[in-house]
């Protein structure tokens, strides 16, 4: 799932786009090396998906997803044809194993396949299997630690089929939580006061689920998924004002942009009633803060760790007005919205306003795009 660039291309990495396929839409990011300026955002675009086209990480309507990706490619203007895709964490089994040091690549493959059969509840013929050597064991120089990853072949083939039907070549298949980890680790390193050994909690609040990762120096020490997301707020709007789901979703986004000072007159016309903030949004924010505090307490009780130094919020809900403040207040932990493009220069066609409004939702796509520089 994580091919070696040298094996694939034999030289410098070609242009690569990160393509994040989520239940709410498809997002594309293309990055380039800008020399002394660091990284440059070449392309950044999003295209919504019809409700139900992707559910629980599964592609339910291939044609709808392909159509959205084709529109996304046209909108972005990218000429890159190599793409990095992500698999939902729940669809991938990962396991750290210990193997003897000094094995050849072929011997490692044999050993990994043998070990994998103990942990994977499917026939090996039905899965795609990959591994990565982490390094020597601290307790024994004669052994190495290896991370193996396995996913049902059909789940991977669905995403590859989307890429191929859209005229793309699926060159990298990553895990969405790993891509997000790469992006947020870069952001954390640029945060004032960032020190080695800091414990960072990343909350990716998506449409239907929140993925929680706790990282130390870029290494995941704990993760969990909770069934809570922005669709709950949309459903609350549906019940409160009698709107169709799609209309409620559009008005929710328009109201948030307007509240953040980035809405247009047209968006203001599609506003929600005056009581929305107090009657509908505030209870949702309270629930979101409760989900965050519960996850943190569960982390403390199920691991040896007793502190979290910083919280990052990401995903489509991260920019909801008031969410960051209530999370910081309830947890009493320094909190910030993860802006994956922080410190990058922007190509002329990339709108800074869009990145400010939607940046946290691009965390996975940005992490996938970073695979170009591995």
The pairing of beta strand 310-314 with beta strand 335-337: parallel
User: Is the same domain home to 330 and 255?
Assistant: yes
The predicted structure's pLDDT at residue 192: 78
Domain, as residue range, for 114: 90-153
Q: 277 in a domain, yes or no?
A: yes
Is residue 84 assigned to a domain? Answer: yes
Least confident piece of the model among 46-55, 111-120, 152-161? 111-120
**Residues 132, 164: one domain?**
no
34 and 164 in a common domain: yes
Angle at Cα 86 formed by Cα 80 and Cα 90, nearest 5°? 170
Same domain, 34 and 120: no
Q: How confident is the model at residue 125 (pLDDT cuts 50, 70, 90)?
A: confident
What would the mean pLDDT of 345-351 be, rounded to a whole number? 92
Residue 47 CA to residue 221 CA, distance in Å, equals 33
**Residue with tokens 């040896």, as numbered in its chain:** 304
Q: Can you tell me the distance from the alpha carbon of 87 to that of 211, in angstroms, rounded to the nearest whole number?
A: 13
* Total of domains in the chain: 3
The band of 263, judged by pLDDT with boundaries at 50, 70 and 90, is low
For residue 9, what pLDDT is reported? 33
* pLDDT grade for 124, boundaries at 50, 70 and 90: confident
Backbone angles phi, psi at 207, to 5 degrees: -70, -40
Please tell me whether residue 189 adopts helix, strand or coil conformation. Answer: helix
Answer yes or no: do 127 and 251 share one domain. Answer: no
Q: Which of 190, 223, 232 is nearest to 204 (CA)?
A: 223
Q: What are phi and psi of 307, to 5 degrees?
A: -150, 155
Residue-wise pLDDT for 300-339, tens only, equals 999 999 999 999 999 989 999 999 999 999 999 999 999 9
pLDDT value at residue 48: 94
Do residues 122 and 240 share a domain? no
By CB atoms closer than 10 A (0-12, 13-18, 19+), residue 352 is: exposed
Residues 231 and 322 in one domain: yes
Q: Are residues 252 and 331 in the same domain?
A: yes
Both tokens of 183, joined, read 């992006």
3-state secondary structure of 14: coil
Q: Give 18-50 pLDDT, tens digit per residue.
A: 999 999 999 999 999 999 889 999 999 999 999
Three-state secondary-structure class, residue 71: helix
Tens digits of residue pLDDT in 188-229? 988 877 788 899 999 999 999 999 999 999 889 999 999 999
Q: Can you give the CATH number for the domain in which 348 is found? A: 3.30.420.40
């Amino acid at each position: 799932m994580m091919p070696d660039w040298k094996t694939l291309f034999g030289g410098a990495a070609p242009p690569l786009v990160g393509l994040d396929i989520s239940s709410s839409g498809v997002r594309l990011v293309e990055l380039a090396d800008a020399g002394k300026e660091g990284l440059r955002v070449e392309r950044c675009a999003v295209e919504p998906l019809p409700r139900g086209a992707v559910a629980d990480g599964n592609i339910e309507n291939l044609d709808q997803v392909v159509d959205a990706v084709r529109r996304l490619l046209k909108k972005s203007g990218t000429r890159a044809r190599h793409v990095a895709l992500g698999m939902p964490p729940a669809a991938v089994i990962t396991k750290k194993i210990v193997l003897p040091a000094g094995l050849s690549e072929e011997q490692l493959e044999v050993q990994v396949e043998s070990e994998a059969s103990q942990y994977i509840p499917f026939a090996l013929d039905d899965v795609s299997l990959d591994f990565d050597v982490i390094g020597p064991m601290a307790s024994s120089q004669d052994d190495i630690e290896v991370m193996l990853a396995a996913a049902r072949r059909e789940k991977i083939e669905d995403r590859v089929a989307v890429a191929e039907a859209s005229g793309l070549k699926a060159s990298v298949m990553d895990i969405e939580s790993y891509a997000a980890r790469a992006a947020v680790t870069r952001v954390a390193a640029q945060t004032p006061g960032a020190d080695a050994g800091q414990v960072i909690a990343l909350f990716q609040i998506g449409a239907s689920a929140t993925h929680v990762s706790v990282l130390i120096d870029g290494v995941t020490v704990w993760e969990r998924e909770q069934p809570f997301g922005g669709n709950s707020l949309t459903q609350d709007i549906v019940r409160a004002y009698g709107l169709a789901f799609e209309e409620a979703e559009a008005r929710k986004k328009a109201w948030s942009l307007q509240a953040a000072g980035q809405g247009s007159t047209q968006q203001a016309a599609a506003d929600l009633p005056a009581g929305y903030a107090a009657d509908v949004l505030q209870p949702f924010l309270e629930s979101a803060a409760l989900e965050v505090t519960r996850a943190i307490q569960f982390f403390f009780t199920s691991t040896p760790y007793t502190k979290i130094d910083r919280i990052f919020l990401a995903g489509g809900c991260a920019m909801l007005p008031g969410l960051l403040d209530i999370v910081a207040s309830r947890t009493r932990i320094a909190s910030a919205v993860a802006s994956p493009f922080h410190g990058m220069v922007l190509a002329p066609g990339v709108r800074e306003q869009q990145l400010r409004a939607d940046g946290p939702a691009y965390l996975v796509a940005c992490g996938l795009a970073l695979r170009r520089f591995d």
